[in-house]
Amino acid sequence: MDREKKQEYALLTAWGASFIATLGSLYFSEIMKFEPCVLCWYQRIFMYPFVLWLGIAIAKKDYRIASYSLPIASIGACISLYHYGIQKISALSEAGAVCGRVPCTGEYINWFGFITIPFLALIGFMTIIICSFIIIKNK
């Protein structure tokens, strides 16, 4: 597969991850009526713009977006990882109880004992990070 095709598929995959993460987030809050905590809002702030940014980059075939998406997605991933730690590591859970009106330790979902909403966000951010590395590597 040539370099440009790899970049194109990586960009499309990153956009798909951001789109699914955004729709999933809106589904949980608007349909299921799960009120987001403060850290969930920060994760949304970092994830939602990717749908627009990566969509524009796809339309323009602008692979330079990877240079910008990598640090932004990395910050979002750090927030998600910290939030997941608050939910799953008892030593950190004390910090999450006072994070806002809705405690950050709350687990609206807990599929298979480890998949929570911050974990899903982390997967979305990691997908964008990996795709950004692929795009940068294939320049």
pLDDT of residue 60: 97
Q: How does DSSP classify residue 27?
A: I
What is residue 87's three-state secondary structure? helix
pLDDT digits 0-9 by tens, 32-49:
999 999 999 999 999 999
Task: Find the CATH number of the domain harbouring 115.
Answer: 1.20.1550
How many domains would you assign to the chain?
1
**Reduced DSSP (H G I as helix, E B as strand, rest coil) percent helix, strand, coil of the chain, to 5:** 75, 0, 25
The residue segments making up the domain with residue 101 are: 3-137
- 30 versus 94: the higher-pLDDT residue is 30
Name the pLDDT band for 98 (thresholds 50, 70, 90): low
